[in-house]
A and B are shown apart, each in its own frame.
Chain A
């Protein structure tokens, strides 16, 4: 195991695992505190610190680089606060200014002194992570994770409502500063693997994917760690398939794919679910409309069987469409296929009369309570009849004093008696 850790692949994978966890966990708070762009600013703003740290002594000492980078980050944050407090510049403009100025300073320093090893921080080279870097990564991830776990409640309350947090006695200023330092550390260690620009991907993408899976911060934190680790590991694995493939972009893209999957299939408003749901609604409404028309037609002609052609003519729907609706009615035991067409079962008849009842009750309601004109109520009722529940129906009937006829003089079918006091 230890030998594997010392290989390039082993180091990269371990780094990916650690980054996935710390990035995911920090990222959940970054997103809910609306600091996504601050994260991006930080990754650019630490560059002068990184360069300074590399230039400090002979050889690249990871801890020194980290320290200088964090200092640079704090200075940048200070400048940002000063700009926002004393001028009317908005947060995104101030962020843009601080980001580009610090980055320019870093680039200027690089162009003048040309330190070695900076490439890794700019573009990310997971393969260039030394064992010293890995140890630092493990320690910093560990500290960040422990900090978030133990300070979870404090962080949660401070992020949601700082005023309330202060009332509770929480030192919100210190919490913010500690979080910022933790974020700076996460950013700097992530930069080595994915480069300056894509640090945001490690922070933001797992968190927003997690938001599609759960509505609570606690569960989102778990999901974000999972997504972070999965995306990072897949990215590293892909990059190992061919020499020369960059890890950073592959990690970012894997995470993006995970996000898309979460968006499509997630339990919280998954797009697929939404689309399927809508289709199902449409089908139910079509079926109910057909049921209603069939029932009305059967009453008119005083027959108990209906040919599909006749229904098609009356309703103006294609024969195929009618057959599909009839098939689903048969599945729901509301209709039966007979030789000459189909007939309604008792339950089908009941369901149809319920719909008609709701339609006509709604028409009365609109006319009496909402002052609609008699010729305006039909279309509304055509839509509303599918959305009135049994309880609402009872409420309507009671409100209108159990009427027998609708605005157009047709009889309102009697409702099914429900048990009281459910």
Chain B
């Protein structure tokens, strides 16, 4: 479903713009809601185009996310005066500055708001995996079988997509829309290359994200480059190591 993930990261933009218009600032919860709804709407549109108009999945994805993204950018420019969203920030992310941004006080500790939303997303994510993990696995492997078992494929899928949209939005502030794709795909790919079974994949994926975030941070500091890109590049380095390991072990996840 990497396609859907890629589409979502681009399609959340109009939702964020709308959320900003409603909420007034980058930290308002409307942003998250708008993004999630926009992401969901995009996926529904893709499904509609695929099933009713018999478009191929990649073509349907292409037209859907570009239309959503176009609406988003148009909104950004049209309401530029009202929205304090720098288009550069949308693309690059601003990990460096987000830490200095809005803060919440929490038991006499000053915590960056982004950290809170990020941590919240992690908690929700872990819970979601615990609840829906089995359904997602079976549904991913063999959707028909999942339906026979009574797992309502549709609802679980919707949750997965909604969660992806929310995760993308919370990542958005930190790393920008396009690099959120990397965050979605790299850890999972690394897990697939190294592990043989789904639990292993999830663990390796988690390890990969943490390692690439840490290494990326130091790389950015050392080489004076954008933090988000540094993390993606570090993540790719780890991925290459995993790739080499899988090749040595016999290739194609033998």
Judged by CB atoms under 8 Å, the answer to whether A and B touch is: yes
> CB within 8 Å of B: which residues of A?
31, 34-37, 39-40, 44, 83, 86-90, 92-97, 99-101, 103-112, 122-123, 195-198, 200-201, 203-205, 207-208, 212, 244-246, 248-250, 252-253, 256, 259, 263, 269, 271
Per the bound structure, the CA–CA distance linking A189 and B63 in Å amounts to 20
Specify which chain B residues have a CB less than 8 angstroms from the CB of A244 in the assembled complex. Answer: 77, 80
Is B104 part of the binding interface, using a Cβ–Cβ cutoff of 8 Å?
A: no
9 pairs of A and B residues whose beta carbons are closest in the complex: A100-B182, A104-B232, A111-B226, A249-B70, A204-B62, A201-B66, A252-B70, A96-B185, A104-B229
Is B139 part of the binding interface, using a Cβ–Cβ cutoff of 8 Å?
A: no
> CB within 8 Å of A: which residues of B?
1-3, 5-6, 10, 52-56, 58-59, 61-63, 65-67, 69-71, 73-74, 77-78, 80, 87, 91-92, 178-179, 181-182, 184-186, 188-189, 192-193, 223-226, 228-230, 232-233, 236, 239, 243, 246-247, 251-253
Select one of A197, A205, A246 contacting B10, CB under 8 A.
A197
Specify which chain B residues have a CB less than 8 angstroms from the CB of A100 in the assembled complex. Answer: 178-179, 181-182, 185-186, 232
In the complex where A36-B58, A201-B70, A248-B70 touch, is A92 in contact with B2 (Cβ < 8 A)? Answer: yes
In the complex where A93-B185, A105-B229 touch, is A250 in contact with B74 (Cβ < 8 A)? Answer: yes
Select one of A39, A89, A201 contacting B67, CB under 8 A.
A201
Q: Across the interface, do B58 and A37 meet the contact criterion of CB distance under 8 Å?
A: yes
Residue of A nearest to B178 (CB): A103
Per the bound structure, the CA–CA distance linking A107 and B178 in Å amounts to 11
Q: B-side binding surface: helix, strand, loop or mixed?
A: helix
Select one of A86, A97, A204 contacting B59, CB under 8 A.
A204
Residue of A nearest to B188 (CB): A93
Q: Across the interface, do A86 and B6 meet the contact criterion of CB distance under 8 Å?
A: no
Q: Across the interface, do B253 and A87 meet the contact criterion of CB distance under 8 Å?
A: yes
Per the bound structure, the CA–CA distance linking A248 and B71 in Å amounts to 10
Specify which chain B residues have a CB less than 8 angstroms from the CB of A203 in the assembled complex. Answer: 62
Specify which chain A residues have a CB less than 8 angstroms from the CB of B80 in the assembled complex. Answer: 244
Per the bound structure, the CA–CA distance linking A143 and B209 in Å amounts to 44
Specify which chain B residues have a CB less than 8 angstroms from the CB of A245 in the assembled complex. Answer: 74, 77-78
Select one of B6, B91, B228 contacting A96, CB under 8 A.
B6
Chain A to chain B contacts (Cβ below 8 Å), 18 pairs: A40-B6, A95-B2, A97-B189, A100-B186, A104-B230, A106-B229, A107-B179, A110-B226, A196-B178, A198-B70, A207-B59, A252-B66, A252-B70, A253-B71, A256-B66, A256-B70, A269-B54, A271-B53
In the complex where A86-B252, A100-B178 touch, is A200 in contact with B229 (Cβ < 8 A)? Answer: no
Select one of B71, B179, B252 contacting A104, CB under 8 A.
B179
Per the bound structure, the CA–CA distance linking A34 and B61 in Å amounts to 12
In the complex where A40-B6, A198-B66 touch, is A34 in contact with B58 (Cβ < 8 A)? Answer: yes
Specify which chain A residues have a CB less than 8 angstroms from the CB of B91 in the assembled complex. Answer: 107, 122
Per the bound structure, the CA–CA distance linking A104 and B234 in Å amounts to 10
In the complex where A96-B2, A96-B185, A200-B66 touch, is A36 in contact with B252 (Cβ < 8 A)? Answer: no
Residue of B nearest to A250 (CB): B74
In the complex where A204-B59, A253-B74 touch, is A104 in contact with B246 (Cβ < 8 A)? Answer: no
Residue of A nearest to B56 (CB): A34
Q: Across the interface, do B63 and A208 meet the contact criterion of CB distance under 8 Å?
A: yes
Q: Across the interface, do A31 and B56 meet the contact criterion of CB distance under 8 Å?
A: yes
Q: How far is the CB of B204 from chain A (nearest CB, A)?
A: 14
Q: How far is the CB of B60 from chain A (nearest CB, A)?
A: 8
Specify which chain A residues have a CB less than 8 angstroms from the CB of B54 in the assembled complex. Answer: 269
Residue of B nearest to A212 (CB): B53
In the complex where A89-B189, A249-B73 touch, is A96 in contact with B225 (Cβ < 8 A)? Answer: no
Q: Across the interface, do A108 and B59 meet the contact criterion of CB distance under 8 Å?
A: no
In the complex where A40-B6, A96-B5 touch, is A108 in contact with B233 (Cβ < 8 A)? Answer: yes
Specify which chain A residues have a CB less than 8 angstroms from the CB of B226 in the assembled complex. Answer: 107-108, 110-111
Q: Across the interface, do B224 and A112 meet the contact criterion of CB distance under 8 Å?
A: yes
Specify which chain A residues have a CB less than 8 angstroms from the CB of B189 in the assembled complex. Answer: 89, 93-94, 97
- Residue in B53, B58, B224 whose Cβ sees the most chain A Cβ within 10 Å: B58
In the complex where A93-B185, A96-B181, A108-B226 touch, is A200 in contact with B253 (Cβ < 8 A)? Answer: no
In the complex where A96-B5, A108-B230, A204-B62 touch, is A88 in contact with B182 (Cβ < 8 A)? Answer: no
Q: Across the interface, do A123 and B182 meet the contact criterion of CB distance under 8 Å?
A: no
Specify which chain A residues have a CB less than 8 angstroms from the CB of B236 in the assembled complex. Answer: 97, 101, 104
Specify which chain B residues have a CB less than 8 angstroms from the CB of A92 in the assembled complex. Answer: 1-3, 6
Select one of B52, B69, B77 contacting A198, CB under 8 A.
B69
Specify which chain B residues have a CB less than 8 angstroms from the CB of A95 in the assembled complex. Answer: 2, 6
Q: Across the interface, do B184 and A111 meet the contact criterion of CB distance under 8 Å?
A: no
Q: How far is the CB of A19 from chain B (nearest CB, A)?
A: 15
Specify which chain A residues have a CB less than 8 angstroms from the CB of B92 in the assembled complex. Answer: 107, 111
- Residue in A245, A249, A252, A271 whose Cβ sees the most chain B Cβ within 10 Å: A249
In the complex where A246-B77, A250-B74, A253-B74 touch, is A107 in contact with B228 (Cβ < 8 A)? Answer: yes
Specify which chain B residues have a CB less than 8 angstroms from the CB of A198 in the assembled complex. Answer: 66, 69-70
Q: Known contacts A37-B62, A111-B224, A252-B67; can you find 10 more A-B pairs with CB under 8 A?
A: A31-B56, A36-B56, A100-B232, A104-B233, A108-B229, A110-B226, A111-B225, A200-B62, A256-B63, A263-B53
Q: How far is the CB of A145 from chain B (nearest CB, A)?
A: 22
Specify which chain B residues have a CB less than 8 angstroms from the CB of A90 in the assembled complex. Answer: 2
